[in-house]
Amino acid sequence: MTKKTPAKPTANVGIVIVSHSPDVARGAADMVRQMVGTSIPLAHCGGDPDGGLGTSVPAIMAAIEAAWSPSGVAILVDLGGAETNSEMAIEMLDDDRRDLVVICNAPVVEGAIMAATEASGGARLAEVKAAAEELSPA
């Protein structure tokens, strides 16, 4: 009996960029688009609901929805609060989506570009996460 390898999903992994600054989030997303193109679902969010620095769980959830792919979503964050709020957003997702969203421990700009490059080639979620995290110090 031969062991079958599961087929790769046909949709590219989505990327979400979460920053405390809306300008940083938008700028990182612009760089990804300029370097990788439009072959991947991409969304970004940043700032608190009052227009200051911070992050918002509802905004992160909306960004996940905007970048949703049946292949999953990789989230890049800038600081600890963005990671904490991203974790809360993931916990609030439906059960069937929760396991398809990961947070990458990587520099937000470089990690987003590496993750998007990997995703644009059809890589699986774990491969996209690993590509982003190669940039992190051990």
Catalytic residue positions, numbered = 20
| Whether the Cβ atoms of residue 87 and residue 39 lie closer than 8 Å to each other | no
Query: What is the Cα–Cα distance from 76 to 108, expressed in whole angstroms?
Result: 5
3-state SS string for 64-102: HHHCCCCCCEEEEECCHHHHHHHHHHHHCCCHHHHCCEE
Burial code (b: 16+ CB inside 10 Å, e: under 16) for 27-41 equals bbbebbeeebeeebb
Query: What is the Cα–Cα distance from 7 to 90, expressed in whole angstroms?
Result: 25
